[in-house]
Structure 1
């Protein structure tokens, strides 16, 4: 939904409906990859990382493998993970939590010569994605032929921040912007209570030069 609404901000209401409707059709009907457009780049990223892992097979029948990630120049990497292939688990936790294979699982799958998509949960496949829209779509008529609604959207202008000088924002505040009285205000720079951005420098410890 966020991808469908991207770029639709401040559009007229009817134009927003038309834009999101056409984007939904394009995403549902014109996806030609094994995974939807949101998951396909993630799969390719994991598959590329999998090719740099070092794999050690401990038990083929039980699917026990140890993998060591590539050691990077900045001394990151070099981590050791254990994959239980048949249980669909990895010590990194991503495979069992997201139901989507991590790079370590894909490395094992490549080593065994299995199909990569056989270890991906069916909810991530393009087939499942398209089944949500099996009822099909009907073209929208021109906006001039739409029936007039007997209601209108009423904005709460009291939530729109209007201070001195030039207006700096057009958004309306919601529950996320409400400050609770029991919660102390925090500095916008260091996110610590007790001071703000104006007196941030005064709150820092000073060291006398020797």
Structure 2
């Protein structure tokens, strides 16, 4: 089970479980893939009714599974609905894994080479993204590419919604999604939008911090700008500020100031001999191919298919 953040805490840091790892642990504990899928649906549910439906189904299928989830696993640490909108819908540690990819190859290097490689790669990372941020600002893009894509998609959906006003001063509206407004053909759902409180019963505005199609439908109905309902986090200016700091060149070793601190030397008995360093990573069921190796339709053996089968190539058939 992985948890975002540990050992330190800032005023706006919120620790959460990685849903993918938690689901894997649940499957390892109870050996039930169906329970794992139900847990994923419960964790992803944005609305209270849907969460209760899937969570109750977990308890009905296996009471121990529900007890396992309740014990030492607070709902707000793995349920999107109970999160309170603090993690912008992020459910896994993919963000951390992405940055690990930036430093790929640095592990197991000698300490000097590891520090040098990390320094220059992170510097390159910042230089590239600082340039991207400046270029988007110069081109007049107010929001990030992802935010713009979500807003554009939701604007298209909103054109098929029906809006009924209940109180213009309080910003209270009812929005009905018309059938056929979505690729799946679903529709006919009714949601309540409160512009003054910045809420919608679909909960997407609170969770993802971007205006849902229902809010955009009301904005179009009232000829209002949707900018107020986009979190500042998605602004290009904020992206630019993330990478505004810069690293300073190290310079040639000959120009470094003399080091006067303690000298640390590893005991000879603890020095490793030159060889491949084994990984200490614990593998689990997520690392396994759940589909297994394919079976050859000719010889009925695993590890190859009929095109590469030795029996077929030799003109033989299995008995």
TM value normalised by structure 2? 0.41
Whether 2:121 is the aligned partner of 1:20: answer: no
Aligned ranges 1:148-187 → 2 under 5 Å: 157-159=277-279, 174-175=281-282, 177-178=283-284
Distance 2:221 2:236 in 1: 25
Shift of 1:23: 2.5
Would the alpha carbon gap of residues 18 and 137 (structure 1) be closer, same or farther in structure 2, given more than 3 Å must change? closer
| Contact kept in structure 2, 1:83 and 1:89, CA below 8 Å | yes
Shift of 1:64: 1.3
2:290 — aligned with what? 188
Distance 2:289 2:236 in 1: 46
1:127 — aligned with what? 237
Deviation >4 Å, runs of 4+: 1-19, 138-141, 145-148
What do you get for the CA RMSD once the two structures are aligned? 4.1
Which residues of structure 1 form unaligned runs of 5+? 149-153, 160-172, 180-185, 190-195, 199-210
2:168 — aligned with what? 60
2:206 — aligned with what? 96
TM value normalised by structure 1? 0.59
Whether 2:112 is the aligned partner of 1:112: answer: no
Which residues of structure 2 form unaligned runs of 5+? 1-94, 107-116, 255-271, 295-319
| Contact kept in structure 2, 1:62 and 1:86, CA below 8 Å | yes
Aligned positions, number: 166
Shift of 1:117: 0.7
2:194 — aligned with what? 84
Distance 2:194 2:226 in 1: 16
Distance 1:31 1:37 in 2: 9
More helix by share: 2
Would the alpha carbon gap of residues 197 and 4 (structure 1) be closer, same or farther in structure 2, given more than 3 Å must change? closer
Question: Equivalent residue of 1:67, what SS?
Answer: strand
| Contact kept in structure 2, 1:25 and 1:137, CA below 8 Å | no
Would the alpha carbon gap of residues 138 and 64 (structure 1) be closer, same or farther in structure 2, given more than 3 Å must change? same
Would the alpha carbon gap of residues 83 and 147 (structure 1) be closer, same or farther in structure 2, given more than 3 Å must change? farther
Shift of 1:119: 2.2
Distance 1:36 1:81 in 2: 28
Question: Equivalent residue of 1:30, what SS?
Answer: helix
Would the alpha carbon gap of residues 75 and 178 (structure 1) be closer, same or farther in structure 2, given more than 3 Å must change? closer
